[in-house]
Structures are given as C-alpha cells and as structure tokens.
Chain A
Amino acid sequence: MTLEWQYVAHALPFLLEGTLITVEVSLLAVALGLLVGILVVLGRQSRFKILRALIIAYISIVRGTPLFIQILIVYYALPALGLDIPRFESGVIALSLNSGAYISEMIRGGLMAIPKGQLDAARAFGMRSGLIWRRITLPQVLVLILPPLTMEFTGLLKSSALLSVIGLVELTRRAQQVIGETLRSPEVWLATAALYFIMCFALGTVTRRLEKAAAAYRL
C-alpha cells in the first residue's frame, strides 16, 4: 500500500482545528487542576476529620481507577443526578479532577523540599504565618512544581484524546471525522500522531529546561 499524503494536506486544517480544542481543554484542566490541588493540600491540613477522610478517598479513587472510566462517569452519571453538563465542560471537569489529585501530591512534595530552617528564620523575624506562606513558601513551591506541572500538562494533552469517546471534537475525534469522510485511515492516524508528538516533544524540551533552572534555584 502506498500512503497518499494529499489526503492529509487536505485534512490538515480540520486537524489543526481539533488541536486547538485539545490545547484549550488541557490548559483549562491544568489550571483548574492546580486550583483543586491547592484546595486539596489545604484541606488535608484541616481540623475536620471528615474533610480529611473525604480528600483521601477522592485521591485513592482518582489514582486507583482508569481515567477513561472517570470520564465516562462524569459524562454519563452526572446527568443522572440532574446535572446537565455539555461535553466540553464535563471533559474539563473529569480531567481537572483527575489532575488535581496528582497535582496535590506535587505540591506536597514541593512543600517538603523547602528546608524547615527557612520557616524558622521567617518566624524569628516575626513574620505572621499568612505572610510566610505568601512571601517565603508559595514563591518557592511554584518554582519547584513548575517542571512537574508542565509534565502534567503534557500528560493532559495526551489523555484528552480520551474525550473523543464522549464525542468532544478535539484532535482525535477530528481525526475520526476526517477518516469518515476520506476513508484514508493510515495517513490520518499517522498525521494525528505527528501533531501530538510535535506538541509533547516541544513541551518535553521546555520541561527539561525548567528542571535545570529549578535545580539551580534550589542550590
């Protein structure tokens, strides 16, 4: 069989349109995931035992079940509870709930990497805990989790392909549509893989740079 690339050239604008949705969904998911992650970290320090137990249950469920099933649950089960959520939003919710659990672990790791002596020093200067969090802890944690966070974003670009299953027209779904029209499956799948590859490879390079920078910052 010979690959006929003119089909791909023809399909490329459509695929790029889907790529845009893929990026959009993943960006939103990582941003919301960061928010969820911060809330989870704060919640784990809460005085309320029930809240802490709920959070631990949430993390175990997210980490213990396939993302694919989580996506199906959010899309098919939430409407049963009377919540009518469109594809895009339910995709973002599923991805960011999934990401949040992993990001919270990154933040915890980042917090532990900050030497306790720095906080002692801040306290010795009479800084209040809110001020310490804002001026000493947070800036350092952000730098430390930036590399794993870009890695998480790369992961989301890839796992957002699963949203094609609930009919969100992102890159993978677009590819299926293009195949439906052109019936040239091999070329389109290879082109789709190439588009994912370009994005993820570029981000991988960025991550390595950030890791180096963060390592220098950490001394």
Chain B
Amino acid sequence: MPFSLSIIAEAWPTFEAGLITTAIFCSVASVLGLVLAVPIALAQFSRSWPWRVSAKVLVEIVRDTPFLVQVFVIYFVFPATGIPMSSTVAGILALTIHGAVYFSESIRGAILSVPKGQVDAARAAGMSYPLTMRRIVFPQMMGYVLPPIGNQIVGLIKDSAVLSIISVPELSMAFQNVLGTTFAAPEAFVAVAVLYWLLTSAVTLVMSRLEQLTPTHRSTQEMTSLLAKADR
C-alpha cells in the first residue's frame, strides 16, 4: 500500500476546517482560562478560609477526574438542570475550566517561587496587596510562569481532540472522517500529526517570544552581556 499524497490533498478541505475549529476552540479556552486562573491561584493564598477551600476543591476535582468525564458531565448534567448546552458551548466550557485549573497551578507555583524577601520589601514600603502583586510579584513570576503555561496550552490542544466525542467538528473529527471515507490510515495519521505539530509549534514559538519580553529575562540578559564584557 503506497503512501499517497493525493489522498491528503483531496481531504484537505476537511482537515482545514478541523484545524480552524481546533485553533479557535483552544485560543478562546486559553484566553478565558488564563483570565480565570489568576483568581483561582490568588484565592489559595487568601487569608479567609472559604476562598482557600473552594479554590482548592475546584482544583482537586478538575485534576482528579478524566477530561472526557468532565466533558460528559458538562454536556449531560447541565441540560438536565435546565441550562441548555450545545456541543460548542460544552466543549469550550470544558476546555476553559480544564485550562483555568492547570494554568492556576502554574501561577501558584510561580508566585511561590518569588522570594519572600521581595514581598517583605514591598510590604515594608507600605505597598498594598494589589499593588505588591501588580508591581512586584507578577512581573517577577512571568519568567517562571510562561514555560509551564506554554506546555499546558500544548496539552490543551491535544486534550481538545476528545471533543470530537461530543461531535465538535475539530481536527481529530476530521481525521476520523477522512479515515472513515478513505481507509488510508498512514496518510490520515501523517496529515493529522503534522497539523497538530503546526499548532503546538506556533504556541511554543509565541511563548518563547513572550518570554524574552519579561523583566526578569531582560535583567538576566543584561547581566550576562555585562559579565561577557568583563571576561574579555
């Protein structure tokens, strides 16, 4: 059975539609997830226990159940309580919640990695909690937080393949359709693998660009160039 590029070419419109759907779903979920992740992470440092506990419970529930089951719970349980649910909404909601929790864990870890003295100095200068977060902690943790967030967005793209099960017409759905009509497994697999690779590479590229813009990165860069000069 020779490998045939023409099969991929013929199936291209199907793949293209799936690729675009996956890209849109994951972009929306990543952005919404990041927005939600910040309060989920911060709540776990709160001085009042109801915030701490509810954030922790949410994190544990999402981390300790399969994504597929989360999708089913959202897709089937919400309509039963009277909230209408389409596969698009359920898919984006599931990806968003999943992403938010995993992002929040990275953010929490990054906050913990900022040395306590940095916060002490800000508090001692009379800076309020939000100001300390905005001016000191967030800029410093950017360098720590971007690499794991990048990995998690890549993970989100791969997890989104599951959404074909509730018939979201995304990339792995396209793969299954092409497989079902052409029976050309090697071609379909190579095509879908390359397309997922393209998506995840784009994320990796963007994240490493962003990383170069972080203040920590800039200060270390400047230091290394200075050290290099001193060596010469």
Q: Mark A69-98, 1 if CB is under 8 A from B, else 0.
A: 100110011001000000000000000000
Measured CB to CB, the closest approach of chain B to A56, in angstroms, equals 14
In the complex with contacts A73-B185, A185-B77, A186-B80, A196-B66 CB distance below 8 A = yes
Q: Which residues of B contact A216 (CB under 8 A)?
A: none
Chain A residue, CB-CB nearest to B186: A77
Q: For chain A, what secondary structure do more than half of its interface residues adopt (helix, strand, loop), or is it mixed?
A: helix
Are B70 and A66 touching (Cβ within 8 A)?
A: no
Measured CB to CB, the closest approach of chain B to A162, in angstroms, equals 6
Q: Which residues of B contact A68 (CB under 8 A)?
A: 158, 161-162, 164, 172
Q: When the two chains form the complex, which single residue of B66, B77, B82 contacts A190, counting CB atoms closer than 8 Å?
A: B77
Are B81 and A69 touching (Cβ within 8 A)?
A: no
Q: Which residues of B contact A164 (CB under 8 A)?
A: 68
**A61 contacts B by Cβ under 8 Å:** yes
Are B193 and A65 touching (Cβ within 8 A)?
A: yes
**B76 contacts A by Cβ under 8 Å:** yes
Q: When the two chains form the complex, which single residue of A64, A72, A197 contacts B200, counting CB atoms closer than 8 Å?
A: A64
Assembled-state Cα–Cα distance A190/B74 (Å) = 10
Chain-A contact segment, one of B57-65, B86-94, B136-144, B215-223: B57-65
Q: Which residues of B contact A204 (CB under 8 A)?
A: 60, 63-64
Q: Which residues of B contact A157 (CB under 8 A)?
A: 66
**B189 contacts A by Cβ under 8 Å:** yes
Assembled-state Cα–Cα distance A159/B177 (Å) = 23
Q: Mark A159-199, 1 if CB is under 8 A from B, else 0.
A: 11110110000001001000000000110011011001100
In the complex with contacts A65-B192, A197-B61, A189-B161 CB distance below 8 A = no
Assembled-state Cα–Cα distance A80/B183 (Å) = 9
Tell me the number of A-to-B contacts counted with CB atoms below 8 Å. 107
Measured CB to CB, the closest approach of chain A to B71, in angstroms, equals 10
Q: Which residues of B contact A67 (CB under 8 A)?
A: 158, 161
**A158 contacts B by Cβ under 8 Å:** yes
Assembled-state Cα–Cα distance A204/B105 (Å) = 15
Q: Mark B160-202, 1 if CB is under 8 A from A, else 0.
A: 1110110000001001100100010110010011001100100
Assembled-state Cα–Cα distance A27/B82 (Å) = 39
In the complex with contacts A64-B197, A73-B189, A80-B185, A189-B77 CB distance below 8 A = yes
Q: When the two chains form the complex, which single residue of A154, A158, A186 contacts B77, counting CB atoms closer than 8 Å?
A: A186
Q: Which residues of A contact B179 (CB under 8 A)?
A: 72, 76
The number of chain A residues with a CB under 8 A from chain B is 35
Are B189 and A185 touching (Cβ within 8 A)?
A: no
**A201 contacts B by Cβ under 8 Å:** yes
**A214 contacts B by Cβ under 8 Å:** no
**B112 contacts A by Cβ under 8 Å:** no
Measured CB to CB, the closest approach of chain B to A25, in angstroms, equals 13
Assembled-state Cα–Cα distance A186/B78 (Å) = 8
**A121 contacts B by Cβ under 8 Å:** no
Q: Which residues of A contact B164 (CB under 8 A)?
A: 68
**B124 contacts A by Cβ under 8 Å:** no
Are A172 and B185 touching (Cβ within 8 A)?
A: no
A-B contact pairs, 12 of them (CB 8 A): A66-B157, A68-B158, A68-B172, A72-B172, A158-B66, A185-B77, A189-B69, A189-B72, A189-B77, A196-B65, A197-B65, A200-B63
Q: List residues of B whose CB falls within 8 A of some A CB.
A: 60-61, 63-70, 72-73, 76-77, 80-82, 157-162, 164-165, 172, 175-176, 179, 183, 185-186, 189, 192-193, 196-197, 200
